[in-house]
Structure 1
Amino acid sequence: MRTSLSAACISTCISLCITLGWLHVPVICAQEVTTSTPATGNSVSEASLPDDPSTSRFPVATPLPSTAGQKVIMESTTQTKTGALFTLDGDVSITTETYLIRADKITYDSDTGDVTAEGHLRVTGGPSQQTISASHGNFNLHTETGRFYDVIGSIGIRTGRKSTVYTVGNPFIFTGRLVVKTGPESFQIFDGTVTSCQLPNPDWRLSSAKFIVENGRATARNTFFRLLNVPVLYLPYVTHPVEAEQRQSGFMVPVFGQSSSKGFILGEEFFLVINRSMDLTVGAEYFSRRGFAQSATFHYKGPGLDFLTAHYSGLLDRGYTPTGGVYTNQGGEDFTVSGRKDVTEHTRAAVDMEYLSSYIYREAFTDNFNQAVASDISSFAYAVHEKNGVIAGLYLDRYQGLKRVASTTQTQQEVRIFHVPSVDLDLMERRIGASKLIFSAENSVATLKRVQSNFTSDISERIDVHPKLSLPLAAFGWDFRPSIGVRDTFYSHSRTPAPIPGATPVELSTSTNRALFEAEAEVRAPVLERTFDTSGFLQRFLGSSVKHTIEPTLKYRFATGVNDFSSILRFDVKDVVADTNEVEYGITQRLFLRPTKSHACGVGETPPEPGTECGGTREGFRWRIAQKRFFNENFGGVVPEPTYVTPVGQAAQPIIRRYVLDSTLDYSGVAFLTEPRGLSPILSEMQLSATEHLDIEWDMNYDTHAGKFTQSNTFVNYHSGNYFGGISHARLNAPGRFTTGTDTSGSGENCTATTTCTSPYSNFSQLRLLVGYGTPTKQGLSLAANVGLDLPHPLITAATTSPIGNTATAVQYATIQTGYNWNCCGFALEYRKFELGPVRNENVYRFNFTLANIGSAGNLRRAERLF
C-alpha cells in the first residue's frame, strides 16, 4: 500500500478483517517522500510511527507533505523513522525517478540521500539500464555514487519475470569482489571479470585486478583472456566497449591465414571513429609469396537517405616466375565510391564509380568469384531534379569493358566509353487539355568519347529529341494504346560507312543527322480466368482452390528513317536504333493458390497461427511465352546477307558477324543478329513456387531458325528451417564475340581448325551447386558447401574427328565451410578453391573466431559465409 490508502475507513476495515481472522497478510509499509538536494527536514514526527511496527496489526501508510525535489517511494514489511533516517526491513524497495533499489534491509537518510543496504541488494536503472546485484553496499541517490560488494552486474540488459531482454546489441556483463560507483555512468571493478556472455558459465571473459569503466568503455591492465574458463592469452592492456551506440577507435583483431598462391597471410587494421556519422578503417596485409596489400574503407551516414561509402584496395606485387615461364606481376589497384545526397525534396545527387587499374589484379586476388570473372565496369554520377512531371538531370558516365583477355598470342582488347556529361530533360506522360491524348518527351544533349585498341574518337556532341503522342482507349475489358513519335538525333562526328563489324573504323569530322518516324500500337485483351476447387491429395500442395489466368499481349512497332546506320558512332543504346517493322505477341499464364487456412492481416500484422497467410492467395506459377515477327528482315539494310571465305582446299564458308540493334537488345538473352531473319527466338520465362520452401525458375530462348536452344538458365532453390540448397545451370550456344570464323555446316557451329577460325562461337555449359545446414547465428554445428563446374561441351571439326573446346568437367571454384557457435562465441573454418585458367589456380584456407562484443580473429568475413 502507498500513502494514498491512509483514510480512516480503509484502516478500520482492514483492522476488522484481521481481528475476525478473515485476512492473513504480512505487514507492508509504504512511504512517498519528496526530497531536495539535500532535504532540509521532515514534517513527520517520530511519534506518528509505531514504536514497533512489527507488532502492528495493520500496515503503516503515513502521508508526507510534498517538497521540491526528487520523489522517493519506499515499500517494506516494516518501517521505523528517527528524524530523517528511515529503517526499512523485509522485502524492501526504494523507487526514484531513475533507480529501483531492492534489498532485505535498507537504511535511508532523506536529508543526505544515503542508502545502506544488506542482503540480496539489487540496483537497477540509470541512463544505460544498469543492473547491480550484490550481497551488501551503500548508494547515494543524489550523487549516484556508492560501493557494492560481491557484485554481478550488467549494462544493457533488462531482466523481467520470465525473460531477459537485451536492450542493446552488445550487452556488458561484469562481476567483482568490490564495485565502486564513481558517477552515473562510471565505476571501478576490483578483482573482477567482464564479458558479453550469459552467466554463470560464460564462454569467454576478461579477468583483471581492476577495470575502469568510463566514457563508454572499460579499460584494464595485466588482463587474462579466458576461453571456456581456460586462460589462453595475457593482455598487458585491453579496452572493451560498454555502450553499443558509442563506437571506439582502436586496432582490430589481427588477420592471418594461408593460401597456395599468396603464402602465409598476416594483417592488421585500425578503426578510427571520426565523429558520430563517419568512420575510417585502414589496414595492410603481408603475403609471404607476393608482397604487401593495403586497404582503406570510409563510411558516412547522414540524415534521411544520405550516405557515402568509399573503398580502396591495392597490392604491391613482387611478382613470380612459373616453372619454365616468364616473370608475371599481377599487382594493381581498385577504388570504389558510392553515395547519395538529397538536396531538397525534389533534388538529389548520387554517385557509383569504380576505378580498376588491372583486370588481372581483380581476377587474381578478389575473394568473390562473380567479381573475379566480371569483365565490365560501369561508373556514373548524376544530379536530378523532379517536380510536376518534369525531370532534369546532369549525368556523367564511364564504361570500361574487357572484350578479349591478353595471352601469349594476342593482346588485350578493351573498350572505354565516356559521357562527359549528358544533360537530360524528360517530360512525364500528361494529358493535353481535356482530351484523352497523352504527351511525353525524352531529350538529351551529350558529350561523348570512345576509346578502344584500334580506335579513339574525338569528343563528339549528340543532341537527341524524342517527343511522343499516345491515345489510350478502353472498351469491354480491352485496352488499346496507339502512339506516334518522331526522333531527331544530331551527331557532330560520324564514321566511314562500312559493314559492322568490318575494317578498322575511321572517324570523320563531318556531322550527320538521323530523323526517325515511329508508330506503335499495343493491345491487351481481357484477362481470362477460372477458379478450380481442389480436394484430397492436391490440397496439400495447391491449397483449397486454384485460380488460372491467361493474359495475351500484342504489340506492333514501325520505325523508318535510318538511312545511314553504318556511319553513326556507337556509344550507347540511342545509337543502335534501326528501321523495323515488327510485331511482338505473347501469352502469360498464372496460377494463384489459396492456402487451406487464410487470414486477412492488416498492415504490419502477422498471421494468427502457423500455416496461415495474409491476403489469402499467392502466385504459385507464372509462364510467359513471347516471340517477335520481323517484316523488315534486314532492318533497312543494316543486317546484310552473310559473306563467305574459301580456305585452301575447302568449300566456301560464312563469316560470322554480330549486329546489335534496339529491336533485340532488351528482348532476348542473345541480343544480336548474325543474318537477316523473319522470326526472333521464342522467349520462355517460367517461375514455380511449388511450396513456401521450394522455388523453381527456367528462362530460355529457342531459335527456330537454327533449330536449337541458344540460351537456357535454370534455377532451383530450397529452404526449410536450418536446411537449404540450390542448383543452377546456364547454357549458351550462340555466335561468339569476335568476327571471324568458318563453318562447314552452315549453322555456324562447326569450326574448322584453321588460322581463320578465331573463336566463332560462345558455347559453354556451367553448373552451380549449393547445399547447407545452419545459419550464422545458430547455436551448434553449421555446414555448407558450393561448387561451380564448367561442363563438357566439345565441338567436332569438319576436317578432323578431334574435338575442340571443353572436353571434360572443370572446377571453376569450390567452397566448404563449417562452423560451431556457442552462447556468445563461434568458430568457422573454410577451404576455398579458385581455378581461373592461367591467371589463378589457388587453394585458400581461412578461419574465423568470433567473440560477441569483441570482434573476429581470422580472415573469413561474415559476408562471405555460405550459411
Structure 2
Amino acid sequence: MRPSLRLLPLPLCIALSLAAQVRAQDREMPEDWSLCPVTDIVPAFEDAQTGVSTADRATQHTDIEGDTLTGTDKHPVFEGNVALRRGDQFLGADKLTFDSEQQRYVAEGSIRYQDAGLRLVAERAEGDQARDEHRIETVRYQLLSRRGNGGADLITLHGTEGSLHGSTYSTCDPSERLWELRAERIDIDTAEGMGVARNATLRVGRIPVLYVPWFMFPVDDRRRTGLLYPSISNSGRNGFDWRQPIYLNLAPHYDATLEPRWMSKRGLQLGGEFRYLLPGGRGTFHGAWLPDDELAVRGRAEEIALGIPPENRRRDNRGSFGFSGYQNVGAQWQARASLNWISDPRWIEDASGSAAGNALFALSSDLGLYGRGRHWEAALMADHWQLADYTLSEAFLPFARLPRGYVRWDRPLGRWLEVGMQAEAVRFSHEVLSGGSRLDIKPYLSLPLEGASWYLRPTLAWRHTTYQLDADLAASLGGDRSPSRSLPITTVDAGVFFDRQTRLDGVPFLHTLEPRLFYLRVPYRDQNGLPLFDTRPLTFGWSQLFRDNRYSGPDRQTDANQLTVALTSRLIRETDGREKLAASIGQIHYFDDSRVTVPGERPVERGKSAWIADLGYAPTDRWTIGAAYYWDPKFRREDLASIRARYLIGEEGIVNLAYRYRRDLLKQVDFSFLYPVSPNWSLVGRYYYSLLDNKPLEAIAGVQWESCCLAVRLVGRRYVRDRIGELNNSIQLEIELKGLGSAGPDTEQVLRRAILGYHRDDLHLVPLPEIRSGDPREPDPIP
C-alpha cells in the first residue's frame, strides 16, 4: 500500500546533535583514516533511498508505505516493512501508529533512520508533533558525513532542545575501542547551536584519563567564543611552555584570538590575532608582548662577553607586531600590505623553534598599490627593513625604498614586432647611510619569430639610469650629485626542438633534444660613479645563462660580448607524461673581458664560464635522483655540487639523501626518512650535518604508532637554536585522538618540515628559489 500523506516532518535531525558532540580542531592536513576497516558500524538499509538532494527537504511530501494498513483515516496503523521517505530522509519500522487528531505517533520494532549525514537504529520512538516532543530509546548511530559512531540510552526532544542520556562517541571501530567519550547527559539547543555535557569522561582503552563534570560545546559550524586546544611543551630555553588560545567571535566579518603563554623560564607572554573580512579584501593583525623577559636578564652577561653592542641586545620588555592584508580597488588594482615590527634583533631567534629563525638577517615591511592589465602592470609601493641579526649593524640593512613606482608595458605591433618598456622611479633612504633617488627606463623592441619547433627572438633595448644623490653620498662617489648612464642592450635568443619516439623495455617514450643559443652584447660604460642601492651580483646558476644582466638591480649593467650554448634532453613517458630523464648542460663563452664590477667582485675575464650541468633521473616510479654540478675549467675546480636522491617506500614511507657543496661557503649532508615497520608502527628521523662546521644543524629521531582512530608520536630533537651555534635538546610527545584533537606539541608539523615527503602531497610543493636583495654576506640558496 502506498498512500501519500502531508505530515509534519519527524524531527529526526538528531544527527546534527550526535555529529557535533565533539568538534575536531582545525587541521592543515586532513585526518588519515586509511587504517580503518572498510565496514559499516550500522549496516546500510536496503530499502532506503540514495542520491537524493537535501536542499529542498522541507518542501517535499512524506510518503508512507507498509505491507498492511488498518485502523481509520484519523488513526491509521501501518504494519510490516513500514517505510517513511522524504527527500534524503528515511525511517523504517515494523509498526507505525499515527493519531492525526492528537498528532501523536508511535514507531516500534527495528527502527531505522538514515539521511545524508547519519544512520541509526533504535528500539522504539514516540512523539507528539503538536507539541514537538519526541522520545527515542536505545540508539546506536554512525555518522556518514564524517567518521564517528556511538550510541545513547535515550534521546528526548522538545522543539529546538534535546537531551541525550547515557551517550557515547568515538571515531574508533566498536571492535577496537581505543578511545571513547562518554557523557551521563548532554543537553542540546539547536537554535542556539550549543550543547552542555555533564559528567563527561574520556577513556583511552578502558582507562578514564579525563573527567569533566560540566562543559559547553558547539553543535554546528557557527563560530563561537571559547577556548581552543592548548599547546604544551618543554625546552631548555623556555622551560615548561603552556599556550592557551582563546577565540573571540566578535562579528560575522571579524574575530580575534588571544593567546596567553606561560614559560616557566621566561615569564608570561600575551599574544593575539585579529582578523577581518571585507568585500574584496581581508587582513590580519598579530602581535605578542613579553614584559620582563627572564631570558634577557639571564643572558645579559653572555651578550656582554660576546661583545654584542647594547642596541642589539635583548630588551627587558619584548614583543612583535605584524599586519598582512589586501583590498581590491576596482577591477585591475589591489592594495597590499605586509607590516612587521620586532622589539630587538634577537626576538625572532628566541621566538623560533628551529634554525630557520637564524637564517633571517632582516625583517621587511612593505605596502603598495598594484595593478595589472592585458599588456601592462604597475605599482606604487614602499618598503622598509629592520635588523633581525644581532651579529650585524644597521649598516648592513638594505636601503628602504620610500617610495618606489614601476611600470612594465608590452604590446605586439602586428605579427612580427613587439614593443615594450620597463620603468622604475625610487627614493632610497637608510638609517645610517646617505640615500638618493633613481630613475631607470628600459624601452625595447623585439622580433619574435617562431614556428612549431623553433624560435628566434632578437631584441634591442636601451637602458637609461639617472640619479639625484644626497650630498654625502655624492662626495664619496666623486662629487657628481646627478650621475647617469645610458647604453644599448642587444640579445638574440634562439632554440630548436627535436623529438622522436623511442621505446625502453617496451615502454613508449618521447625523446627530445633542445639546443639553445643566447647572445648578449652590451658596450662598456664606466659606472664607478654610480651608487649601489639595491644591486649585487647574482649567484651563478642556470637562469643566469639567459639573462641580460648578471646583477640583481639597475645600479650596475654588465658590459658583455658573450654567447651561451646550452642543451637539454628529456625522456617523457607517452602513457602518462611522466618525465623519466631531464638532462641539461650549458656554458657562457666570453669574447671580451667584462670590466664592470662591484667592490670585492672579481672581473669576468675573456674565455669560458663554469660548466653548468643539471640532471634529473627517475630509474623507477619510486626512485628519483637529481644532481647539479658547476665545473670551472679555468681554475680546474668545482664551484658547486649537489646530489639528491629520494626513494618511496610503499604508500607512506620515504627516504631522502642530499649532499650540498658550494666553494668556501657550505658543505652539508642531509638524510631523512619515514620508514614504516608495519601498518601501525613507523620510524622517523633526520640528520642534517655541516661538514665545514663539524657539527649537526638538526638531528631528529622518533617513533610513531598509528591506528584507525589514535596516533602517538614520540620525537627527540637536537637543533641549532641561535647564531653562535648553540644546540638545543627537546623531547616531544603528541597523542592524537583522531576526530577529537591532540595533546602535546605539534610534532607532525616539525616532521613535515624536516622530512620532505612526510606527507606525499608535499612532494610537488617544493618552492623555487627566490632572488631578492638579502644578506650581503650570503649567496642565494642552492636550488
User: TM-score, normalised to structure 1's length?
Assistant: 0.71
Residue number in structure 2 paired with 1:697: 626
Residue number in structure 2 paired with 1:780: 680
- Farther-moved stretch of structure 1 (827-836 vs 247-256): 247-256
Task: Decide whether the 8 Å contact of 2:525 with 2:559 is kept in 1.
Answer: no
* Cα deviation, residue 506, structure 1: 6.6
1:620 and 2:590 matched: no
2:428 to 441, 448, 459: 448
1:518 to 483, 489, 495: 489
What do the CA deviations read for 1:748-795 (whole angstroms, capped 9, x no partner)?
xxxxxxxxxxxxxx33211111011359xx972232111210114xxx
1:181 to 138, 145, 157: 157
Residue number in structure 1 paired with 2:346: 360
1:381 and 2:367 matched: yes
Residue number in structure 2 paired with 1:263: 239
How far apart, in 1, do the equivalents of 2:691 and 2:554 lie? Answer: 37
1:825 and 2:718 matched: no
Which residue type is aligned with residue 514 of structure 1? Answer: R
* Cα deviation, residue 180, structure 1: 0.6
* Cα deviation, residue 530, structure 1: 3.3
What do the CA deviations read for 1:817-862 (whole angstroms, capped 9, x no partner)?
3222333232222211123564632111222222334322212254
How far apart, in 2, do the equivalents of 1:680 and 1:496 lie? Answer: 38
Q: 1:392 to 1:272 in 2, by over 3 A?
A: same
Task: Decide whether the 8 Å contact of 1:403 with 1:413 is kept in 2.
Answer: no
How far apart, in 2, do the equivalents of 1:37 and 1:208 lie? Answer: 29
Equivalences, count: 675
Q: Secondary structure at the match of 1:30?
A: coil
Residue number in structure 1 paired with 2:216: 239
How far apart, in 2, do the equivalents of 1:771 and 1:209 lie? Answer: 45
How far apart, in 1, do the equivalents of 2:7 and 2:419 lie? Answer: 74
Task: Decide whether the 8 Å contact of 2:124 with 2:137 is kept in 1.
Answer: yes
Identity level (%): 20
* Cα deviation, residue 107, structure 1: 0.5
Which residue type is aligned with residue 533 of structure 1? Answer: R
How far apart, in 2, do the equivalents of 1:308 and 1:34 lie? Answer: 50
Q: Secondary structure at the match of 1:423?
A: strand
1:230 and 2:198 matched: no
Residue number in structure 1 paired with 2:600: 658
Runs of 5+ in structure 2 lacking a partner? 11-57, 306-312, 536-551, 753-757, 759-783
1:730 and 2:660 matched: yes
Task: Decide whether the 8 Å contact of 1:298 with 1:309 is kept in 2.
Answer: yes
1:118 and 2:108 matched: yes
Task: Decide whether the 8 Å contact of 1:494 with 1:508 is kept in 2.
Answer: no
Q: 1:137 to 1:791 in 2, by over 3 A?
A: same
Q: 1:862 to 1:403 in 2, by over 3 A?
A: closer
Q: Secondary structure at the match of 1:700?
A: strand
How far apart, in 2, do the equivalents of 1:377 and 1:138 lie? Answer: 66
- Farther-moved stretch of structure 1 (287-296 vs 505-514): 505-514
Residue number in structure 2 paired with 1:425: 407
Q: 1:547 to 1:587 in 2, by over 3 A?
A: farther
Residue number in structure 1 paired with 2:182: 207
Residue number in structure 2 paired with 1:33: 5
Relative contact order, CA 8 A, sep 6+: which one is greater? 2
How far apart, in 1, do the equivalents of 2:226 and 2:679 lie? Answer: 29
1:545 to 498, 505, 508: 508
* Matches for 1:577-656 after TM superposition, within 5 Å: 577-594=556-573, 598=575, 613=576, 617-636=577-596, 638=597
* Cα deviation, residue 148, structure 1: 0.9
Which residue type is aligned with residue 842 of structure 1? Answer: N
* Cα deviation, residue 715, structure 1: 1.9
Which residue type is aligned with residue 182 of structure 1? Answer: H
User: TM-score, normalised to structure 2's length?
Assistant: 0.78
Task: Decide whether the 8 Å contact of 2:465 with 2:554 is kept in 1.
Answer: no
Task: Decide whether the 8 Å contact of 2:718 with 2:730 is kept in 1.
Answer: yes
Q: 1:144 to 1:618 in 2, by over 3 A?
A: farther
Residue number in structure 2 paired with 1:682: 611
How far apart, in 2, do the equivalents of 1:826 and 1:709 lie? Answer: 47
Task: Decide whether the 8 Å contact of 2:185 with 2:199 is kept in 1.
Answer: no
Q: 1:690 to 1:399 in 2, by over 3 A?
A: farther
Q: Secondary structure at the match of 2:122?
A: strand
2:382 to 387, 396, 412: 396
Residue number in structure 2 paired with 1:348: 334
1:811 to 680, 691, 696: 696
Q: 1:350 to 1:690 in 2, by over 3 A?
A: farther
Task: Decide whether the 8 Å contact of 1:35 with 1:69 is kept in 2.
Answer: no
1:148 and 2:136 matched: yes
1:712 and 2:684 matched: no
Task: Decide whether the 8 Å contact of 2:668 with 2:690 is kept in 1.
Answer: yes
Q: 1:393 to 1:706 in 2, by over 3 A?
A: same
* Cα deviation, residue 294, structure 1: 3.8
Residue number in structure 1 paired with 2:670: 768
Q: Secondary structure at the match of 1:266?
A: strand
How far apart, in 2, do the equivalents of 1:186 and 1:152 lie? Answer: 20
How far apart, in 2, do the equivalents of 1:237 and 1:508 lie? Answer: 78
How far apart, in 2, do the equivalents of 1:201 and 1:545 lie? Answer: 48
Residue number in structure 1 paired with 2:196: 219
How far apart, in 1, do the equivalents of 2:301 and 2:418 lie? Answer: 70
* Matches for 1:399-548 after TM superposition, within 5 Å: 399=385, 405=391, 414-428=396-410, 430-432=411-413, 434=414, 436-451=416-431, 455-458=432-435, 460-474=436-450, 478-493=454-469, 510-524=481-495, 526-534=496-504, 539=505, 544-548=507-511
Which residue type is aligned with residue 120 of structure 1? Answer: S
* Cα deviation, residue 480, structure 1: 2.2
What do the CA deviations read for 1:649-694 (whole angstroms, capped 9, x no partner)?
xxxxxxxx633xxxxxxxxxxxxx4664543222222222332222
Task: Decide whether the 8 Å contact of 2:524 with 2:559 is kept in 1.
Answer: no
How far apart, in 2, do the equivalents of 1:412 and 1:77 lie? Answer: 88
Task: Decide whether the 8 Å contact of 2:699 with 2:719 is kept in 1.
Answer: yes
Q: Secondary structure at the match of 2:749?
A: helix
Q: 1:140 to 1:589 in 2, by over 3 A?
A: farther
Which residue type is aligned with residue 706 of structure 2? Answer: N
How far apart, in 2, do the equivalents of 1:715 and 1:417 lie? Answer: 37
What do the CA deviations read for 1:240-274 (whole angstroms, capped 9, x no partner)?
4433x334432233332221232222332212334
Which residue type is aligned with residue 92 of structure 1? Answer: V
Q: Secondary structure at the match of 2:512?
A: strand
* Cα deviation, residue 194, structure 1: 3.7
Task: Decide whether the 8 Å contact of 1:439 with 1:470 is kept in 2.
Answer: yes
Q: Secondary structure at the match of 2:708?
A: coil
Which residue type is aligned with residue 384 of structure 1? Answer: Y
Q: Secondary structure at the match of 1:381?
A: strand
